[in-house]
Amino acid sequence: MTAAIEAHGLGRRFRRGGWALRDCSFRLPAGRICALIGPNGAGKSTLLALAAGVLKPTEGTLTTPPREAIAYVSQDKPLHPQLTVAETLRMGADLNPGRWDAAVAGKVVEGGGLDPARRVRALSGGQRSRLALALALGKRPTLLLLDEALSDVDPLARRELMGALLATATEDGTTVLMSSHILSELEDACDHLLLIDGGRVRLGGSVDDLLQAHTLVSGPISDLAPHTVVTARATGRRLTALIRPEGPVSTDGGGWQVEEPTLEELVLAHLGAPGVPALLTTAMEAAA
Ligand SMILES: Nc1ncnc2c1ncn2[C@@H]1O[C@H](COP(=O)(O)OP(=O)(O)OP(=O)(O)O)[C@@H](O)[C@H]1O
């Protein structure tokens, strides 16, 4: 399976701020829709900017498709304020000769009822996000990088735009790497997950594989060895824990419940447990 993004020992240091990303190695297979998750300051925007070629790595390597095949919607969505909506789309066509899909871009803009004659500076934040996404999808990219691209879009419009995004991505086999703090939205849209914290990869792989690699157990307080305990919480005499099983989970003694966690439970458990060893499933392991 060819990789759309492959990172080896990737790191980026800022002169004022230190290492934003350190020792990241992973591969994202082509055609996957991958959620990029992590707390504020984790390094998500830095990774996306590196993948977009806007930033250069301080160390390590990052392989991506050629620049003209990448669309990147950054958090600040740089658009020209003096241009109208129609002029912005025309600029998209001029900048992407041979690639531009006016119908796809036009549909995204029309979906929000944006007046083509309206200047960008007169658009609301959510309307600007829609226009930025129209520019990105109109490019019909091989790799689409979205940095909290829909964070200021209202819930109904977000659902519609996510639908348009997924339809185009599925049709073209586009690889998507998208950061967001809205886990439920990512759960519906993404088949892969990359979780970073403190500039380092903590979890990476297909959502199914990552969920299967973890178990939520609840039962009488006891020693959970030899399993890796991601988080554990005692309530009275019962223990609820998210574990990474090392072999079969024993339910001796009765009163045990064992179930697969939800994506939200998995992510929240890992964000609260920085000391747990990182896990990359084979789907995202970088080639040696
Ligand atoms: N231009 C810069 N100069 C100095 N430090 C920076 C710069 N850009 C980012 N950083 C630092 O790098 C770290 C990672 O920042 P980054 O923006 O990548 O995080 P993030 O995961 O996208 O966060 P958020 O969820 O808040 O958007 C932070 O500690 C941040 O302060």
ipTM of the complex: 0.98
Can you tell me the mean pLDDT for 198-210?
95
Can you tell me the mean pLDDT for 226-249? 86
Position with higher pLDDT, 225 vs 214: 214
Nearest CA to ligand 1 atom 24: 40
CA 14, chain centre distance (Å): 22
Q: Sketch the domain layout of the chain as residue ranges.
A: 3-208, 209-274
Q: Would you say 185 and 222 are in contact if contact means Cβ atoms under 8 Å apart?
A: no
DSSP annotation string for 142-171? SEEEEESTTTTS-HHHHHHHHHHHHHHHHH
How far apart, in whole angstroms, are the C-alpha atoms of residue 154 and residue 152? 7
pLDDT at position 254 is 67
With a 6 A CB cut-off, is 16 part of the ligand 1 pocket?
A: yes
pLDDT at 1: 65
CATH annotation of 3-208: 3.40.50.300
Q: Which of 15, 40, 45 to mutate to test the pocket of ligand 1 (most atoms within 8 A of CB)?
A: 45
pLDDT value at 24 more than 90: yes
- Checking if the pLDDT of 253 tops 80, the result is no
Q: How far apart are CA 10 and CA 47, in angstroms?
A: 9
User: Of all residues in the chain, what percent carry a pLDDT higher than 90?
Assistant: 72
Band of pLDDT at residue 235, cut at 50, 70 and 90: confident
Q: What is the pLDDT of residues 37-91, one digit of tens each?
A: 999 999 999 999 999 999 999 999 999 999 999 999 999 888 999 999 999 999 9
User: Looking at ligand 1, which residue's alpha carbon is closest to its atom 27?
Assistant: 40
Strand pairing class (59-63; 3-14): antiparallel
User: Looking at 101-105, 181-185, 248-252, which range is the least confident one?
Assistant: 248-252
Ligand 1 proximity of 44 Cβ (cutoff 6 Å): yes
Residue 185 pLDDT greater than 90, yes or no: no
Identify which has the larger pLDDT, 249 or 239. Answer: 239
Contacts of residues 205-209 at CB distance under 8 Å and 24 or more positions apart, as own/partner, are 205/279, 205/280, 205/281, 205/282, 205/283, 205/284, 206/32, 206/281, 206/283, 206/284, 207/263, 209/281, 209/282, 209/283
Number of other CB atoms surrounding residue 271 within 10 Å: 17
Q: Sign of the CA dihedral 114, 115, 116, 120?
A: negative
CB 181 within 8 A of CB 30: no
Confidence bin at 198 (pLDDT 50/70/90): very high
Q: What is the DSSP string of 203-259?
A: EEEEHHHHHHT-EEEEEES---TTSEEEEEEEETTEEEEEEE-SSPPP-TTS--EEE
What is the pTM (predicted TM-score) of this model? 0.94
Ligand 1 atom with the shortest distance to the CA of 48: 18
Token reading at 188: 């519906």
Q: Which two tokens stand for residue 111?
A: 């979906």
Which residue has a Cα nearest atom 5 of ligand 1?
Answer: 17
CA of residue 10 to ligand 1 center, whole Å = 16
